[in-house]
């Protein structure tokens, strides 16, 4: 297959993308990957310093980006984030909802404040950011929306009840959006990362011998994933080659959901 034929399926030249939660971890990797494929990327987060590092890494691969800060626990941020992105980039073709957070607690210890915060960041923002980009993509005759889900989209994990609710809801939201917006040539899909080493999980999970051992025992690949291993799936979902893929959730998990072996 020639490079020109690959461009037919994967090139994002001339496209504009907004990636929420792209100041570090998976979001940063996705922003760099989209920029490397030709998109101009609006990177989003709360830390200007971290966003500047994301932009430096995008520039290192020859990509173009701008940065914006916004607090996704505040409803007023949603329309501002979308409109400012469109104004600064002149269009908006791709929305990647990667921002997320967790409060690890047993169900009986979860407070209403915990519940509202995780719901607002992980689900409410995704719902209303998608709603805000819809008319823009409709008027442009198409677009791509990608939600970053989780293994908890498919399975229950202790002490992550509210997080799991939000991530499982994203898969259903993608299906409904796919059905309603297919007429506007907007494809909506989810990426479900497996057990990935990120700045947030390295200390809280991977440096804990008991937790890391539990995770590794369930990964057929016998190793954790890396943020940049999530990029190829998102490039497919964001590119022209996925014009007939919509309403799906793709797990990139080293085989966790495939199962395990008694012999391991």
Which residue carries 């998102």 as its tokens?
A: 234
* Catalytic-labelled residue, pool 9, 78, 127, 163: 163
Strands 143-148 and 94-97: what pairing? parallel
Q: Among 104, 31, 111, 25, which residue's Cα sits nearest to residue 63?
A: 31
Does the annotation count 163 as an active-site position?
yes
Q: Among 100, 96, 126, which residue's Cα sits nearest to residue 30?
A: 96
Longest CA pairwise span in the chain (Å) = 57
Q: Which long-range contacts (C-beta less than 8 Å, at least 24 apart) are formed by 84-92? A: 85/16, 85/18, 85/42, 86/16, 86/136, 88/42, 89/16, 89/40, 89/42, 90/16, 91/15, 91/16, 91/136, 91/140, 92/16, 92/17, 92/18, 92/133, 92/136, 92/137, 92/140, 92/143
**E strand or H helix that includes residue 191:** strand 186-193
Measured distance CA(110)–CA(107) in Å, rounded: 5
Q: Decide if 249 contacts 174 (C-beta within 8 A).
A: yes
Measured distance CA(212)–CA(206) in Å, rounded: 5
At 235, phi and psi to the nearest 5? Answer: -60, -40
Estimate to the nearest angstrom the gap between the alpha carbon of 104 and the chain centroid. Answer: 20
End-to-end CA distance of the chain: 38
Task: Name the residues annotated as catalytic.
Answer: 163
């Amino acid at each position: 297959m020639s490079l020109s034929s690959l461009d037919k399926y994967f090139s994002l030249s001339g496209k504009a993308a907004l990636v929420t939660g792209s100041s570090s971890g998976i979001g940063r990797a996705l922003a760099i990957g989209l920029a490397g494929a030709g998109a101009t990327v609006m990177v989003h987060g709360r830390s200007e310093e971290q966003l500047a590092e994301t932009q430096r890494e995008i520039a290192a691969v020859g990509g173009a980006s701008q940065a914006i800060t916004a607090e996704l626990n505040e409803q007023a941020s949603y329309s501002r984030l979308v409109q400012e992105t469109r104004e600064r980039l002149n269009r908006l073709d791709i929305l990647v909802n990667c921002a997320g957070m967790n409060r690890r607690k047993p169900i009986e210890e979860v407070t209403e404040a915990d519940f509202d915060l995780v719901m607002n960041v992980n689900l409410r923002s995704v719902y209303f950011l998608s709603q805000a980009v819809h008319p823009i993509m409709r008027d442009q005759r198409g677009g791509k929306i990608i939600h970053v889900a989780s293994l908890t989209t498919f399975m229950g994990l202790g002490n992550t009840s509210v997080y799991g609710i939000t991530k499982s809801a994203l898969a259903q939201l993608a299906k409904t959006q796919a059905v309603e917006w297919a007429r506007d040539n907007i494809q909506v899909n989810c990426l479900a990362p497996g057990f990935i080493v990120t700045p947030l999980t390295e200390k809280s999970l991977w440096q804990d011998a008991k937790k890391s051992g539990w995770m590794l025992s369930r990964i057929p690949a016998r190793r954790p994933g890396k943020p940049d291993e999530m990029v190829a799936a998102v490039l497919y979902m964001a590119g022209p080659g996925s014009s007939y893929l919509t309403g799906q959730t793709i797990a990139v998990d080293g085989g966790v959901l495939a199962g395990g072996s008694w012999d391991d």
